Structure 1
Amino acid sequence: MKGSQVKFVIALLALSVFGVTFGSGCAAMRASAARQAHINKMTKQHVYSMPCEQVWPTARQLLFTNGFSVKDTGEGTTMTLETEWAYQGQSSSRYLVQGIEPTESQCKVNFTKNTRSQNNHTSTNRDLDIEWQLLQKVDQESAQKILQEAEVKANAASAS
């Protein structure tokens, strides 16, 4: 083989190794994204098959566990809880948590997180991560089913 042919073969081998590595990395990323998207979707629409008074203590405990203290709470058909600002380095955040009972035996819980940066820029987002934590603690059977479905979605995404 001539020098240019050797370089060409080496370049092809390097490209194929890169392609396999990059392709499998992309498959893993697609799987992870599909898994998380399914968990987020199901968490966002989850309705507990129990009254809010059974879910509420765990929701409050999650906030305390994450370093937040409760500012006030409302009771009635809509339970509302707001935390004090918690400072983390250069930013601070707080939660507004709402428990809504579509029926007497059902509960929907939304965690809305406000984050304020050092320059007073404020953003507000629904925190599906903490809602997922709540779902795993309160409704383990549904959480397990969601995880199983998420794995099916992840496997399909990595295969494509």
Structure 2
Amino acid sequence: MKPSMRSPWSLSLVLLAVTTLATGCAASRREAYIQDKAAQHVYRKPLAEVWPQVRMLLKEKDLPLREAPGGYEISTDWHMVGAPSTLGTNYVRYLVRGKQPTPAMSTVEIFKQNRTESGPGPVDTQTGQRQNLGTDTTNMVRDMEMEWELLQRIDPDAAKALRAEAESTIK
């Protein structure tokens, strides 16, 4: 078919695909923007008021907590994510730290660490024993998604304003 005789449907499909791709990219950029801002959020509440919500969020995710006495720090034990597999089993644990820059303000940082225990490896021809492929553990990284979830719980007005800012800023 000659380029000048293309169907109007082809052009429509191409435009639809480009629009869908652009919309998806904008939505991803908005979510990244929101999570980045949530990670920088300073609560206008003392840490003593914020901390029970932190505990509740972790408990709702069925994470076993270990809290440091006299401080605002919680770590969780390793928690299996998904079902065990012969390809590997995934685990996650968290470290949460609360800081109070002033008596009336606080911040919360949530760090996440992943671990994968590989499934059974090949059989050693000399011993007949199956080799273990080992464990791969990643470094701790900020869990901005969970920090955004916490912000929505503790300060819904700030979360709503942040979402509106992201939607007006990123098109």
TM-score category of the 2 structures, normalised to the smaller one: 0.7 to 0.9
**Residue 91 (structure 2) pairs with residue 92 (structure 1):** yes
Which residue type is aligned with residue 79 of structure 2? A
CA–CA distance in 1 between the matches of 2:164 and 2:70? 35
Count of residue pairs the alignment pairs up: 148
CA–CA distance in 1 between the matches of 2:33 and 2:163? 9
Match of 1:39 in 2: 34
Residue-by-residue CA offset, 1:101-145 (whole Å, 9 max, x unaligned): 111111110010111012321122211111111101111111110
Which residue type is aligned with residue 148 of structure 2? W
User: Which structure shows the higher strand fraction?
Assistant: 2
CA–CA distance in 2 between the matches of 1:33 and 1:66? 24
* TM-score normalised by the chain length of structure 2: 0.79
CA–CA distance in 2 between the matches of 1:110 and 1:29? 28
CA–CA distance in 1 between the matches of 2:117 and 2:20? 36
Unaligned residue ranges in structure 2 (runs of 5+): 84-88, 119-134
> How does 1:5-154 map onto structure 2 within 5 Å?
5=2, 9-10=5-6, 13=8, 15-76=10-71, 79-88=72-81, 89=83, 90-119=89-118, 120-123=135-138, 124-154=140-170
Contact 1:111 1:131 in 2 (8 A): yes
CA–CA distance in 2 between the matches of 1:74 and 1:101? 16
Give the Å deviation of 1:147: 0.9
Give the Å deviation of 1:8: 5.8
Contact 1:98 1:110 in 2 (8 A): yes
Moved more, 116-125 or 129-138: 116-125
Contact 2:35 2:147 in 1 (8 A): no
Runs of 4+ in 1 over 6 A off after TM superposition: none
Larger relative contact order, structure 1 or 2 (CA cutoff 8 Å, min sep 6): 1
CA–CA distance in 2 between the matches of 1:135 and 1:61? 13
Which residue type is aligned with residue 108 of structure 1? T
Give the Å deviation of 1:84: 1.2
Identical columns (%): 28
* TM-score normalised by the chain length of structure 1: 0.84
RMSD, aligned CA: 1.8
